[in-house]
A and B are shown apart, each in its own frame.
Chain A
Amino acid sequence: DGGITQSPKYLFRKEGQNVTLSCEQNLNHDAMYWYRQDPGQGLRLIYYSQIVNDFQKGDIAEGYSVSREKKESFPLTVTSAQKNPTAFYLCASSIQRDTEAFFGQGTRLTVV
């Protein structure tokens, strides 16, 4: 069953902690993306990657880090430097650089 899997679905973090959000795809897609969505807002690009071991900052990369050690995996770490991390985080992937992207079910992160 092919698709994009994000885990966990809900995540609670204490202030000052780093947390890592998982994104795995078995679609053999080259490109992967991380977006953040705040209530009533659109999607803002955090990081994206076109190939293994390479990634670029998006519009709001500060306080976040990523890795792309395997084609199927693109984990996102929300560091303590991110001052307002509570949001809905969405991972997406696409087969080629100019084709449509498909999304995972998202991770809702809340700072407590």
Chain B
Amino acid sequence: QKEVEQNSGPLSVPEGAIASLNCTYSDRGSQSFFWYRQYSGKSPELIMSIYSNGDKEDGRFTAQLNKASQYVSLLIRDSQPSDSATYLCAVKEGFQKLVFGTGTRLLVSP
């Protein structure tokens, strides 16, 4: 079983729609969770971090965490073509090891 799992996609949404990206993880002791965006050929950039159960909002982005279900999600409201990228879920295991999923490719069509 992979430590951090994401659907590889692509996830296609029209401009203005809500994009929903999901991630599950295997280490129940994990306390820190992150979403990164990566454009083709570039390094990942941090979008959101979340540490407590529930929702955390930052502009058009909302991260959701459910530790009981070992599930993290990212919602992107009013999706724009510039949001087209690969979104990486990352989990800090044992307070040291930062493990990434394989990423979900998002395509936003005009």
Contact = CB atoms under 8 A, between A and B. Distances in A.
Chain A, interface size category, equals 20 to 34
Contacts of B102: 41-42
A97 B31 CA distance: 11
22 contacts: A33-B98, A42-B100, A42-B102, A43-B44, A45-B99, A48-B96, A48-B97, A50-B96, A56-B97, A58-B97, A90-B43, A90-B44, A97-B95, A97-B96, A99-B32, A99-B49, A101-B46, A103-B43, A104-B43, A105-B43, A106-B42, A106-B43
Interface of A: 31, 33, 35, 41-45, 48, 50, 56, 58, 90, 92, 94, 97-106
Contacts of A106: 42-43
A106 to B, nearest CB: 5
A98 B46 contact: no
Chain B, interface size category, equals 20 to 34
B45 interface: yes
B34 interface: yes
Interface in B78-110: 88, 90, 92, 95-103
Contacts of A41: 102
Contacts of B95: 97-98
